[in-house]
Structure 1
Amino acid sequence: MSYTGDVTADGPADVRELPGLTISKIEVGGFGNNAYLLRCRETGDGLLVDAAADAGRLLGLIGDGPISAIVTTHRHQDHWMALAEVTKATGAETVAHPLDAPELPVPVTRPVEHGGEVTVGAVTLDVIHLRGHTPGSIALLYQDAHLFTGDSLFPGGVGNTQGDAARFDRLYTDVVERIFDRLGDETWVYPGHGKDTTLGAERPSLSEWRARGW
């Protein structure tokens, strides 16, 4: 079966096999959060994007394979409710932007900034700081083709900025300059909630997003 990114609460993971990386997506918790397990195909090392909830399900997804890092995309509680338990069980390094790190329930052992990198085995992920949804929201980019956006970019728009025009302008500008202006239409977007999308599917709506202000 080909990967679609369509998952449901308590349903199975949807798995995408890339030449260097396996991506497994599940939905956890009461807010429909997505969690992603990235595993290097060369070394077997793993990285979890957002230990959002349901620690037992996340640990089941991780299984017996090693996991060296847990990346939290931003400070909102629904994205880290299982972080302490999964960190304790796995001994994984905790990764987040320093502006959001103080709000997390465990110390961040590896703070990352815009332009930095996170590795999982032989795989390198680029860190993109997207300011606005929270001060320290980050996205992770693999090979300019696979983008994990947390709550900063979804099908149909950028993340919630609570009606704050300045925050919306900052997030919209970052998303356009740091994502759409840099990456091609084929880039696949893995968001923090709901269905996946591509930059090509969203690009025609950018002016609409700017005009409506959300």
Structure 2
Amino acid sequence: MSNAYTGQVTVGGPADTRALPGLAVTKVAVGPMNNNAYLLRCTTTGEQLLIDAANEPATLLGLVGEAGLATVVTSHRHADHVQALAEVVAATGATTLAHADDADAIPVPTARTLHDGDEVTVGRATLRAIHLVGHTPGSVALLYDADPAAPHLFTGDCLFPGGPGNTFGDAAAFTTLMDDLEAKIFGPLPDTTWIYPGHGDDTVLGTERPHLAEWRARGW
């Protein structure tokens, strides 16, 4: 396990792992759209949860290893985030979770639908679902704040370094996404919050916060 986590991973390259209080996070890039998948492991019980079985099932199952997989959370309905979902679930028997407003559009049945504020557990670690509307109707971020001074947030395609997720030219969806990001993410969470996005490099809220007005003005 690396003690110098950067979150900079490339498709075909090694995963990057960091140790948090009670939780180990492993990030890997998969597939032609450079999707990030995150394997979370409770350091007390060994139970594991995967965020986005996006692509390359062999890669993801290799990360899971002998410990098995209890849960897969799909951050949102878009096809590039679910290409390996069927194979991973078939191989592991993992329980599938997604937000209620996106679940029907995901090609693998969702065993448990999420709503804003719901808890998602992995062993003794607890994450909280945050519903963000705009990139899709049912996008969900997962917050791990065992240390409230340094939270960790998995944002799917709703927040990246440099701006919000794509709202495909829909001005109303852009406004909704920005409103949710400001009310549910930037408002309550500190600058130290680490952001794990659905594609590309990580960031922290403090780096992005000064640019909120700029994002609003440009409209994307």
The TM-score, its normalising length taken from structure 1, stands at: 0.99
- The one-letter amino acid of 1:20's match is G
| 1:116 paired residue number | 118
Is residue 2:61 matched to residue 1:59?
Answer: yes
Distance 1:150 1:166 in 2: 20
| 1:163 paired residue number | 169
Distance 1:104 1:82 in 2: 12
| 2:204 paired residue number | 198
Distance 2:107 2:89 in 1: 11
Alignment of 1:1-214 (within 5 A): 1-143=3-145, 144=148, 145-214=151-220
Per the alignment, in what secondary structure is the counterpart of residue 217 of structure 2? helix
Post-superposition CA distance 1:162-201 (Å, at most 9, x none): 1111000000000010000010000000000000000000
Per the alignment, in what secondary structure is the counterpart of residue 161 of structure 1? coil
- The one-letter amino acid of 1:189's match is I
- The one-letter amino acid of 1:199's match is L
Distance 1:61 1:13 in 2: 9
Distance 2:22 2:69 in 1: 16
Offset of residue 67 of structure 1: 1.4
Per the alignment, in what secondary structure is the counterpart of residue 209 of structure 1? helix
Offset of residue 106 of structure 1: 1.2
Distance 1:167 1:11 in 2: 35
Offset of residue 105 of structure 1: 1.4
- The one-letter amino acid of 1:17's match is A
- The one-letter amino acid of 1:184's match is P
- The one-letter amino acid of 1:111's match is T
CA RMSD of superposed structures (Å): 0.6
Distance 2:154 2:129 in 1: 10
- The one-letter amino acid of 1:98's match is A
Post-superposition CA distance 1:108-128 (Å, at most 9, x none): 001010011100000000000
Structure 2: gaps of 5 or more residues: none
Post-superposition CA distance 1:134-154 (Å, at most 9, x none): 000000000150000000000
Structure 1: which 4+ aligned runs deviate by more than 2 Å? none
Per the alignment, in what secondary structure is the counterpart of residue 138 of structure 2? coil
Distance 2:132 2:43 in 1: 29
Structure 1: gaps of 5 or more residues: none
Q: How many residues align?
A: 214
Offset of residue 103 of structure 1: 1.1
Distance 2:219 2:194 in 1: 24
Distance 1:24 1:99 in 2: 27
Per the alignment, in what secondary structure is the counterpart of residue 147 of structure 1? strand
Distance 2:203 2:67 in 1: 29
